[in-house]
């Protein structure tokens, strides 16, 4: 009889198993066999649970909560020993984990699904589910004994909270519970639409400034509702109606330095544009407008031309060559018509007003089909204040690592965020991602800002926010895996944050605090009772940004591969630049092992793009890189040499500037080491081929 000593060592793996050990037998047998039985069973000596030559054996696939007995036998080619002493072992059974899903907010009368599919059993699978209601008006649950139960939200007149508990159990009877809350939002009564134009009276009065008892406020033959849907102003007759005019405030265009907006008490909206004395040349303003009916049109401008050296602009219409628009010198504002009529086809058109003489002021533009019309005074007023400014978040210009992410669930098919892994900032930082939005309000007052956000966890639920030159304040958003409207707050200051705005132009800045927080849409409103719903209202035509023509990238934000290094410098735009230090080596051709920098960026419009780099190339032996776009081949870019930071357009050989044909979407610009010592601080990728950052 062989006497064996056994000890049971339970496995820590998720699947239940046990490892048994014993002392070796002398003389050594051919091997050992392990036999197993349950408390109600017997050993089957014809079928060992384990067999081998070692003195340890592991038996798998044991059931949690079950008790087992084990014996060992030694065997040779012709014989087998008796049983060792018997060892018992009971497999532990871990309690399951219940997950009732996220808290929900639904409309009155909506269908609701409670989702417990996130529940799990560490030892196997969930054996049973049971949903019960523990709070709020009673509802009838369907499939309450499955992972997903459904019900119809009750019809309520005030916001109501329902509470549900999910209890799950495993096959051995251990159970666990979790709860979720469903907030039922009261269904608003059907809005009153007195003139049956498809626009509720409250929106006509508070939002659009139109007459709720007149289907066609501006009398142009198109109903207010149809004009709002098409993006035209329901308060001003559009060109094409026979009597309409297009009025444009000069400060509402795209303004490029040194052209700038200047406050003036006699301007129609308190602002105008000009290039101040000695501020440089090349500035311009771009204006885009839509024509509904082809024909001949006249262009008027309201100017202040104080003397004979400050009384002209250049004007370009739809890409034509610049023409001089000369004005009589006068210290009073005056209306002047530009040359002969222009022939416009139906569709979008562009006027560029370019600098020619310093201090020539422009207040307004008028485009009209009426050849006999002469504007007077400040011109015809634009209609009353809109209380809502609605902005698609992706219409702003993001600075990395903030970027646009395409998503069909977002209201405009995209949102802005700093992707996971891009960092967390405890306070506002020049290294954080940033996106800015310019907007106008026509009425001074207190404004609140709503954001449509998605914040999946407690480490992905905040931004820093500032308006105009105000300090950045921390906004902790509502947390959840679904898009949610949340009022901007200022932690430890105010919730909601109320901004006192004057009539006119403002800037909203949203800065990265926690990567992973997503922003889809923005509503700026002076109506304290307003709450956006669903995907929100369409973005205001006047607030929708034109496709992004400039993408600005800080060089030090690139993904770099040695031998490129980041170097701090107070003279660099954000306090740092990229370079390959002196003495690291030069390359005549693109070579594996050379330093690399990759810049990811997004453009929202297909077309030809030009790239500018802010470089410092101290000598002719330190003034070049290799460059490539996406999967293209590398070319040699000889930069401008100099001991000061200089903007230089990317060129390869005789192709200067080098234009890249890009499709809308994400791209990568590659920079490779050619000569050590060449420094790069910043990149601008622009669709405006005439733009010059110098």
Per-residue confidence band for 442, with pLDDT thresholds at 50, 70 and 90: confident
Query: SS3 letters for 388-433?
Result: EEEEEHHHCEEECCCEEEECCCCCCCEEEECCCCCCECCCCCCCCC
The C-alpha R_g of the chain, in whole angstroms, comes to 36
Across all residues in the chain, what is the average pLDDT? 86
Q: Decide if pLDDT at 557 tops 90.
A: no
Query: So what's the pLDDT on residue 546?
Result: 40
Q: Which tens digit of pLDDT belongs to each residue from 326-366? A: 999 999 999 999 999 999 988 778 899 999 999 999 999 99
d(CA 471, CA 223) in angstroms, rounded, equals: 44
Confidence of residue 293 (pLDDT cuts 50, 70, 90): confident
Q: How confident is the model at residue 129 (pLDDT cuts 50, 70, 90)?
A: very high
Query: Distance between CA 99 and CA 117 in Å, rounded?
Result: 7
Q: Return the percentage of the chain with pLDDT > 90, whole number.
A: 45
Two tokens, residue 114: 């409670």
- Select from 641, 597, 584, 595 the least CA-distant residue to 616: 641
Please tell me the distance from the alpha carbon of residue 149 to that of residue 105, in angstroms, as a whole number.
16
**Separation of alpha carbons 114 and 51, rounded Å:** 49
Tokens 């696939």 belong to which residue? 61
Q: What is the largest CA-CA distance in the chain?
A: 124
Cα distance between residue 305 and residue 328, in whole Å: 7
Closest CA to 236 of 298, 285, 292: 292
Instruction: Write b or e for each residue in 199-215: b if 16 or more Cβ atoms lie within 10 A of its Cβ, otherwise e.
Output: bbbebbebbbbbbbeeb
Closest CA to 171 of 212, 208, 121: 121
Q: What pLDDT was estimated at residue 246?
A: 84
* Residue 527 · residue 425 · CB < 8 Å: no
Query: Do the beta carbons of residue 574 and residue 610 sit within 8 Å?
Result: no
> What pLDDT was estimated at residue 13?
41
Answer whether 394's CB lies under 8 Å from 452's CB.
no
pLDDT single digits (tens) 478-509: 999 999 999 999 888 888 899 988 878 889 99
Distances from the Cα of 429 to the Cαs of 406, 513, 620, in angstroms? 26, 9, 36
Residue 83, CA atoms < 13 Å, CB-side half-sphere: 12
Residue for token pair 């002196």 = 582
CA 289 – CA 248 distance, rounded (Å): 9
- Whether residue 673 is predicted with pLDDT greater than 90 in this model: the reply is yes
The contacts of residue 145 (CB under 8 Å, 6+ apart) are: 128, 129, 130, 131
- Specify the pLDDT at position 15: 53
> Tell me: the pLDDT tens digits for 596-607?
999 888 777 788
pLDDT digits (tens, 9 = 90+) for 521-543: 999 988 776 788 888 877 765 44
Res. 188 pLDDT band, cuts 50 70 90: low
- What is the pLDDT at residue 172? 79
Instruction: Output the pLDDT for position 241.
Output: 45
More confident residue, 207 or 35: 35
Centre a 10 Å sphere on the Cβ of residue 539 and count the other Cβ atoms it contains: 21
Phi, psi of 103 (to 5 degrees): -65, 145
Residue 529's pLDDT is what?
A: 67
Of the pLDDT bands very low, low, confident and very high (cuts 50, 70, 90), residue 219 is low
Q: What is the pLDDT of residues 379-424, one digit of tens each?
A: 876 544 445 788 999 888 788 788 888 888 898 888 999 999 999 9
How far apart are alpha carbons 121 and 49 in whole angstroms?
Answer: 26
The answer on pLDDT for 651 being more than 60 is yes
pLDDT in tens, 562-584: 889 999 998 888 889 999 999 88
Asked if residue 192 has pLDDT above 90, the reply is no
List pLDDT tens digits, range 71-116. Answer: 999 999 888 988 888 888 888 888 899 999 999 988 888 899 999 9
Contact yes or no for 513/464 (Cβ under 8 A): yes
Which residues lie closer than 8 Å to 411 by C-beta, 6 or more apart? 392, 452, 520, 521, 535, 536
Residue 594 scores a pLDDT above 80: yes
Q: pTM of the entire structure?
A: 0.33
Which domains are present in the chain?
A: 4-91 (2.60.40.10), 104-185 (2.60.40.10), 245-368 (2.60.120.260), 388-548 (2.60.120.260), 551-686 (2.60.120.260)
Region 303-307: mean pLDDT is: 95
Q: What is the pLDDT of residue 431?
A: 85
């Amino acid at each position: 009889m062989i006497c064996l000593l056994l000890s049971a060592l339970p496995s820590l793996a998720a699947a239940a198993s046990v490892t048994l050990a014993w002392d070796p037998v002398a003389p050594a047998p051919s091997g050992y066999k392990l036999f197993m039985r349950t408390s109600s069973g017997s050993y089957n000596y014809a079928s060992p649970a384990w067999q081998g030559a070692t003195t340890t054996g592991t038996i798998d696939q044991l059931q949690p909560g079950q008790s087992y007995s084990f014996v060992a036998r030694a065997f040779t080619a012709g014989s087998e020993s008796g049983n060792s002493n018997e060892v018992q072992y009971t497999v532990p059974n871990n309690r399951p984990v219940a997950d009732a899903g996220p808290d929900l907010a639904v409309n009155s009368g909506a269908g609701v699904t409670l989702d417990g599919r996130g529940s799990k059993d560490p030892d196997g699978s969930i054996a049973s589910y049971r949903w019960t209601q523990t709070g709020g008006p009673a509802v009838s649950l369907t499939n309450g004994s499955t992972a997903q139960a459904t019900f119809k939200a009750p019809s309520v007149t005030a916001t109501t909270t329902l509470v549900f508990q999910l209890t799950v159990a495993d096959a051995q009877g251990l159970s666990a519970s979790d709860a979720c809350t469903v907030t039922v939002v009261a269904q608003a009564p059907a809005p009153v639409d007195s003139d049956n134009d498809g626009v509720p009276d409250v929106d006509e009065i508070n939002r659009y400034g139109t007459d709720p008892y007149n289907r066609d406020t501006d009398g142009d033959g198109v109903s207010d509702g149809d004009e709002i849907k098409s993006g035209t102003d329901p308060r001003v007759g559009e060109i094409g109606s026979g009597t309409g005019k297009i009025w444009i405030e000069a400060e509402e265009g795209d303004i490029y330095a040194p052209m700038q907006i200047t406050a003036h008490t006699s301007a129609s909206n308190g602002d105008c544009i000009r290039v101040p004395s000695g501020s440089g040349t090349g500035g311009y303003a771009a204006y885009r407008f839509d024509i509904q009916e082809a024909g001949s049109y006249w262009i008027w401008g309201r100017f202040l031309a104080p003397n004979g050296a400050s009384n002209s602009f250049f004007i370009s219409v739809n890409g034509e060559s610049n023409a001089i628009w000369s004005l009589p010198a006068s210290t009073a504002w005056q209306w002047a018509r530009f040359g002969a009529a222009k022939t416009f086809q139906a569709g979008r058109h562009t006027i560029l007003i370019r600098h020619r003489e310093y201090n020539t002021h422009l207040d307004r533009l008028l485009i009209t089909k009426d050849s006999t019309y002469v504007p007077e005074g400040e011109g015809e007023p634009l209609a009353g204040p809109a209380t809502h400014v609605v902005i698609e978040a992706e219409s702003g210009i993001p600075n990395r690592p903030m970027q646009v992410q395409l998503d069909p669930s977002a209201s405009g098919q995209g949102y802005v965020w700093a992707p996971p892994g891009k960092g967390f900032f405890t306070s506002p930082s020049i290294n954080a991602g940033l996106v800015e939005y310019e907007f106008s309000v026509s009425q001074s007052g207190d404004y609140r800002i709503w954001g449509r956000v998605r914040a999946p966890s407690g480490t992905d639920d905040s931004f820093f926010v500032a308006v105009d030159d105000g300090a950045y304040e921390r906004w902790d958003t509502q947390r959840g895996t679904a898009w949610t409207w949340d009022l901007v707050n200022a932690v430890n200051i105010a919730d909601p944050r109320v901004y006192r705005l004057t009539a006119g132009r403002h800037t909203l800045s949203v800065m990265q605090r926690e990567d992973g927080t997503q922003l889809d849409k923005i509503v700026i409103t002076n109506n304290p009772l307003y709450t956006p719903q669903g995907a929100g209202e369409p973005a205001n035509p006047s607030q929708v940004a034109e496709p992004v023509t400039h993408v600005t990238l800080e060089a030090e934000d690139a993904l770099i591969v040695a031998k490129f290094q980041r170097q701090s410098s107070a003279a660099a735009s954000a306090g740092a630049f990229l370079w390959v230090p002196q003495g690291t080596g030069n390359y005549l051709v693109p070579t594996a092992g050379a330093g690399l920098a990759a810049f990811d960026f997004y453009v929202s419009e297909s077309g030809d793009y030009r790239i500018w780099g802010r470089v410092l190339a101290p000598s002719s032996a330190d003034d070049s890189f290799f460059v490539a776009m996406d999967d293209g081949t590398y070319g040699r870019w000889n930069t401008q040499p100099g001991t000061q930071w200089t903007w230089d357009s990317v060129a390869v050989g005789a192709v200067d500037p080098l234009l890249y044909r890009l499709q809308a979407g994400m791209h990568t610009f590659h920079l490779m080491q050619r000569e050590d010592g060449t420094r790069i601080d910043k990149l601008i990728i622009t669709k405006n081929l005439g733009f010059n950052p110098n």
